[in-house]
Amino acid sequence: MEPFNQQIGVVVPLDRVNVDTDQIIPKQFLKLVGRTGFGRYLFHDWRFHSDGTPNMDFVLNQARYAGGKILLTRENFGCGSSREHAVWALEDYGFKVLVAPSYADIFYNNCFKNGVLPITLDESVVSDLFSETESHEVYSLHVDLAKQTIRKPNGAELGFDIDQFRRRYLLEGLDDISLTLQHEQSIRSYESKLSPIQVINASGV
């Protein structure tokens, strides 16, 4: 996983509450092998009409938000089933940062495991960001994870809180496997002291 430090990007406002994972990536598109390729199906049922043509009223299809890296949305984002594919689809589409008042717990944890930063801000602050985003043709933010700040186009800064272990996850580009491998020498040292039978039992074989 690539380290995450800063992200400057266009903000895409998705003004909906309780967006669940089946809306983020519908179940019929979960058959892909691997983690890539899901981006083209992101919000599929909102992005496209039943005949497959783009729904130009949907925010992702509007030219002013093309190439957006920061998704601004409302409370309880990522609720519903625990499918990790939802984060894969957001990341594959190009979103590196999410901003919302709240997230579903499993979805929130999955973001950190896949290099996506979910920022939580007060609902009133999120509402202000929606107003500012929609009043500009193009509205960008500068997110600095190391400093835990969001800088607006006018230079004003917002701070955000984040668990320091999860912050380290992103800053160092760690996932569960790479975090374990940081202790590889200690693991090898421990295993070298075990008998062959103990090693087999420890491996679960």
Specify the CATH number for the domain of residue 93. 3.20.19.10
pTM, two decimals, is: 0.86
Contact criterion met (CB below 8 Å) for 128 and 185? no
pLDDT at 32: 85
Q: Name residue, tokens 């020498």.
A: 185
Q: What three-state secondary structure class fits 31?
A: coil
* Residue 93 belongs to some domain of the structure: yes
Same domain, 199 and 102: no
Cβ neighbours around 134 below 10 Å, total:
14
**164 shares its domain with 189:** no
Domain annotation covers residue 1 = no
Question: 76, 23 in Cβ contact below 8 A?
Answer: no
The tally of domains found in the chain comes to 2
Q: Within 10 Å of residue 167's Cβ, how many Cβ atoms? A: 17
Residues 68 and 55 in one domain: yes
Does one domain contain both 97 and 118?
yes
Domain that holds residue 203: 175-205
Specify the pLDDT at position 130: 98
Q: Are residues 196 and 98 both part of a single domain?
A: no
Residues 179 and 152 occupy one common structural domain: no
Same-domain pairing of 121 and 76:
yes
**Are 196 and 135 part of one and the same domain?**
no
pLDDT for 194 = 67
Q: What is the pLDDT of residue 196?
A: 60
pLDDT score of 85: 96
pLDDT lower than 70: segments of the chain: 175-192, 194-205
Same-domain status, 78 and 155: yes
Closest CA to 10 of 145, 156, 142: 142
Same-domain status, 156 and 135: yes
Give the pLDDT confidence score for residue 195 in this predicted structure: 60
**Per-residue pLDDT at 174:** 84
Residue 203 is predicted with a pLDDT of 57
Instruction: Say yes or no: 154 and 198 in one domain.
Output: no
140 shares its domain with 107: yes
